[in-house]
Amino acid sequence: MTYSPDVPEVVVQRLPQYLRALSNLQRGGQEVISSQQLGALLQATPAQIRKDLSYFGRFGKQGRGYNIRHLLERLRYILGLERTWNVAVVGVGRLGRAIISYQGFQPEGFRVVCAFDSDPRLIGQLAGGLMIHDISNIGEVLRGEQVQIAIVSVPGAEAQLVIDQLVEAGIQAILSYAPIAAHVPEGVHLRSVDPVLELQSMTYYLSTPD
Amino acid sequence: MTYSPDVPEVVVQRLPQYLRALSNLQRGGQEVISSQQLGALLQATPAQIRKDLSYFGRFGKQGRGYNIRHLLERLRYILGLERTWNVAVVGVGRLGRAIISYQGFQPEGFRVVCAFDSDPRLIGQLAGGLMIHDISNIGEVLRGEQVQIAIVSVPGAEAQLVIDQLVEAGIQAILSYAPIAAHVPEGVHLRSVDPVLELQSMTYYLSTPD
């Protein structure tokens, strides 16, 4: 496989952005792109683009740019996106339902296959066509559904407990929408979606004269 | 004001994380923290923490750590969070409704004051207690409601057009949930929330043996 412990995490986090931008270009019919153009799309320097990609081999020819189709294939392979990943959603409130119904996961190879909640009024009901399971059965259901990734959409106060349960059930990739800095053991990957942090990083600029 | 064009954007983007971690410590009764402890909480080196904060003045005393209350006050001031910001939500589908109902904005000083959609069946209805306005009146309504920040929760195909309308209406801070790399002119700040990119940055690690 292509994994190397030497690749900085920030580089790995940029690869999906490269993939997104190149897919859009391919849909528009473009076949080749320079590191200058790609950098302009992604607000990075051409040198940064070349350095990031160099971790994974030689992609472009000097002065000829990158072949978009080839680079996309390689990026999908590197990121493990040539297969489908099964995803569980934990917490079926308003946000959880929006996540379950989100149309953007399936085309990218992420299939939400099961949902969990702790509210007895929700357990056994359907959300977006999925049965809502009792969270106390989470380990068993995740194994049965062959889930590799979990999305956490419970309130902040419950999030760390849920994340601990997911880790115990063997989940190694967790996307959390809870507004807390949660902890996971080494080897488990946690990403957060937190709109408040994003807003706060913009008010810095708003609060000052241009 | 405290704005300095010399502060790198990545530093500004880390400040809300410092604020979040320090607020949690303060709620727990802690009064002082070392850069080592803060670094451990935020997965950064102590040197990185000290360097980030040094852009904004002298906060800690050598060997004594940071006074949490003082540092929180300064961070809130630097980030412009001593006031309330009015927010508009554009796109009142399932995701937009989840955003409007989200309980995490108000305590942090962000107040969702109006909502927009282009669907005639939604215009004039209520969502989370807010009137849904016709997007074709967006400039007028945003001025009337004194909105400074917009959240975009429309489908990807409509997002760039909506963002252009927001920019034209004078909005300088936009948080987009649309899965596209949108463009904004200089001086306008755009952040994206995109769960697919987050998931794809974790499958890299899942797809490889540990």
Question: DSSP characters for B150-178?
Answer: EEE-S-HHHHHHHHHHHHHTT--EEEE-S
Residue B204 lies in a domain: no
Does a structural domain hold residue B209?
no
CA count, 13 A, side-chain hemisphere, B192: 19
- Could you tell me the two tokens for B76? 């809130």
Q: A-chain residues within 8 Å CB-CB of B3?
A: 204-205, 207-209
Residues B61 and B159 in one domain: no
In this predicted structure, the answer to whether residue A1 has a pLDDT above a threshold of 50 is: no
pLDDT band at residue B5 using 50, 70 and 90 as cut-offs: low
> What are the two backbone dihedrals, phi and then psi, of residue B66, each rounded to the nearest 5 degrees?
-100, 140
Nearest chain A CA: its distance from B135 CA (Å): 22
Assembly ipTM: 0.90
pLDDT bucket at B4, cuts 50 / 70 / 90: low
Q: Counting Cβ atoms within 10 Å, is residue B1 exposed (0-12), middle (13-18) or buried (19+)?
A: exposed
> Is residue A102 located within the same domain as residue A131?
yes
Test A206 with B105 for CB contact under 8 angstroms. no
CA distance A205 to chain B (A): 7
CATH code where residue B123 lies: 3.40.50.720
Q: State whether B12 and A97 contact (CB < 8 Å).
A: no
pLDDT classification of A4: cutoffs 50, 70, 90? low
Cα–Cα distance for residue pair B170/B173, rounded to 1 Å: 9
A71 and A119 within one domain: no
- Identify which of B85, B82, B80, B65 has the alpha carbon closest to the alpha carbon of residue B22: B65
Nearest CA in chain B to A197: B16
Contact B199/A110, CB-based, under 8 Å? yes
C-alpha B3/C-alpha A193 separation (Å) is: 26
- Neighbouring C-beta atoms of residue A33, cutoff 10 Å: 22
Does a structural domain hold residue B203?
Answer: no
Beta strands in chain B (DSSP E): 32-33, 66-67, 85-90, 110-117, 126-127, 130-134, 149-152, 173-176, 189-192
Confidence of residue A210 (pLDDT cuts 50, 70, 90): very low
Nearest-CA distance A161 → chain B (Å): 17
Who among A12, A200, A207 is closest to B201 (CB)? A12
Smallest Cα distance from B80 to chain A, Å = 5
Looking at the fold, whether A106 and A170 belong to one and the same domain comes out as: yes
Q: Nearest Cβ partner of A204 from B80, B179, B202?
A: B80
* First-to-last C-alpha distance (Å) of chain A: 49
Measured distance CA(B158)–CA(B125) in Å, rounded:
21
- The answer on A183 and A109 residing in a single domain is yes
Query: Number of folded domains in chain B?
Result: 2
In chain B, residues with a C-beta closer than 8 Å to the C-beta of A199 are 85, 87, 105, 108, 110, 149, 173, 175, 191
Which of A193-207, B7-21, B36-50, B105-119 is most confident?
B105-119
Of A17, A201, A205, which is closest to B16 when you measure between CB atoms? A201
CA distance B123 to B144: 18
Q: Would you mind telling me the total number of residues written for chain A in this entry?
A: 210
Task: Using alpha carbons, list the distances in angstroms from residue A97 to A85, A102, A130, A143, A150.
Answer: 19, 8, 10, 22, 14
Instruction: Give me the residue from A79, A151, A200 closest to B204, CB to CB.
Output: A79
Indicate whether A206 belongs to any domain.
no
Please give the pLDDT value at position A96.
94
Residue A162: both structure tokens together:
């849920």
One domain, residues B55 and B115:
no
**Residue A204 falls within a domain, yes or no?**
no
A17: CATH: 1.10.10.10
**Are residue B97 and residue B73 in the same domain, yes or no?**
no
Residue B154 lies in domain: 85-197
- The per-residue pLDDT for range A67-117, each reduced to its tens digit, is 999 999 999 999 999 999 999 999 999 889 989 998 889 999 999 999 999
Q: Which of A55, A53, A88 is nearest to A72 (CA)?
A: A53
Which of B15, B195, B205 minimises the CB distance to A189? B205
Per 3-state DSSP, what percentage of chain B is helix, strand, and coil (rounded to 5)? 45, 20, 35
CA B201, B203, B206, B210 torsion: positive or negative?
A: negative
Q: Which tokens go with B78?
A: 């630097």
pLDDT of residue B1: 42
Encode burial over B80-89: b for 16+ CB neighbours within 10 A, e otherwise. Answer: bbeeebbbbb
User: pTM surpassing 0.90?
Assistant: no
Arithmetic mean of pLDDT over chain B: 90
Same domain, residue pair B74 and B90: no
Within 8 A by CB and 6+ apart from A43, the residues are none
Q: What's the rounded Cα separation, in Å, for the pair B72 and B66?
A: 10
Determine the length of chain B. Answer: 210
Average pLDDT for residues A5-25, to the nearest whole number?
88
Question: For chain A, what percent of residues have pLDDT higher than 90?
Answer: 66
Q: How far is CA A83 from CA A53, A77, A86, A161, A170, in A?
A: 22, 9, 10, 30, 20
Residue B100 shares a structural domain with residue B169: yes
Residue-level pLDDT at B205: 92
Q: Which of A35, A55, A78 is the last residue of a domain?
A: A78
pLDDT at A179: 80
Strands A149-152 and A173-176, sheet pairing: parallel
* Interface contact flag, A180 B24, Cβ < 8 Å: yes
Round the average pLDDT of chain A to a whole number and report it: 90
